[in-house]
Amino acid sequence: MQTLPNVKEEKGTRAAARLGQINFINSLPVIVPMMRHCDNLRAQIVLATPSELNRQYAENKLDLGAMSSFFYLQSNDMQLVHGLSISSVGPVGSVLFFSKKDPRELTNCRVAVPMSSATSINLLRVLLLEQFGVQPILVNAESPDLDREDLDGALVIGDRALLVDPAWSAKFVRLDMGAWWFENYHLPMTFGVWAAKTKWAESNPEMFVDLSAALVLAAKEGLSTDLDKVIDQSMERLPLSRIRLQKYFKEELNFEFGASHQKGLELYRDLCHKYKLFHSSHSQ
């Protein structure tokens, strides 16, 4: 987890908002422009994995920011930032399921899942049950690795998914979770949203409006005027080509949140309810 330097504050002003951001390259289109404008933002930015951010929201250590869709849907004290999400309309490129066998044969088989994303883990549960009636044994792993002989499948997300994709795709059955969802339901899959603690948003309505607008604007700038910087920073983190990253940010990731995204998010919520995934022992 990384906390970035606080913004400048004038005497007598309210303390800066505590703003969480996901520390994967998929959030760089928002982070890079926000850091460029940080002197004008009354926010302290905390970078962490989705699960670490979820924990800080739950412990009231963050006021607003990015979070997994599953965490948002399971919470009853969050106010959505409209017009912004981390979604896909088809392949997402960085939420991938790999299997050593036909997915229809995975009942009671061991599948490694990352410890950093509740949305993707529960999406895997939903799609395997809905399409194949399959319920594997999910094994938490810091960094899922299919080289282990005791595993039949692995879900990988974020930067690690982009890294292992070429090698694993050549050896295992590959399912892009965004594409799998879209092929079944013809709706965007929203993996992450931005939202604020309702109590904080109601107590700081002007700051909430200002920061919401800044986040939406940042995403637009990150995909246009700042895209080269976003790709440069991504290449510093991962050994990926500029062409691959250009495709990832412009064709696979979708940062909008409109009516179809809302409908897709509601369907995902309904399916999680159907399989009793909220507030259960295996949800994160």
Domains of the chain: 2-90+189-269 (3.40.190.10), 100-185 (3.40.190.10)
Asked if pLDDT for residue 172 goes beyond 80, the answer is: yes
| pLDDT band at residue 50 under the 50/70/90 scheme | confident
Amino acid 48 reads A
Residue 174: strand, helix, or coil: strand
pLDDT digits (tens, 9 = 90+) for 76-110: 899 999 999 999 999 999 999 999 999 999 999 99
| pLDDT band at residue 54 under the 50/70/90 scheme | confident
pLDDT digits (tens, 9 = 90+) for 258-275: 999 999 999 999 999 999
φ, ψ dihedrals at 65, nearest 5°: 145, -165
189-197 and 78-88 beta bridge pairing: antiparallel
pLDDT reported for residue 2:
52
pLDDT reported for residue 275:
96
Tally of CB atoms within 10 A around 183: 14
Q: In a 10 Å sphere around its CB, with 0-12 CB exposed, 13-18 middle and 19+ buried, how is residue 42 labelled?
A: buried
Tally of CB atoms within 10 A around 150: 7
Residue whose structure tokens are 């700051």: 207
User: b or e along 85-98 (b: 16 or more beta carbons within 10 Å of the residue's beta carbon)?
Assistant: bbbbbbbbbbbbbb
Nearest residue to 103 via CA among 81, 139, 135: 135
Distance CA 111, CA 48 (A): 25
For the chain, the residue count is: 284
Alpha-helical regions (H) of 42-197 = 50-58, 69-74, 118-132, 158-169, 177-185
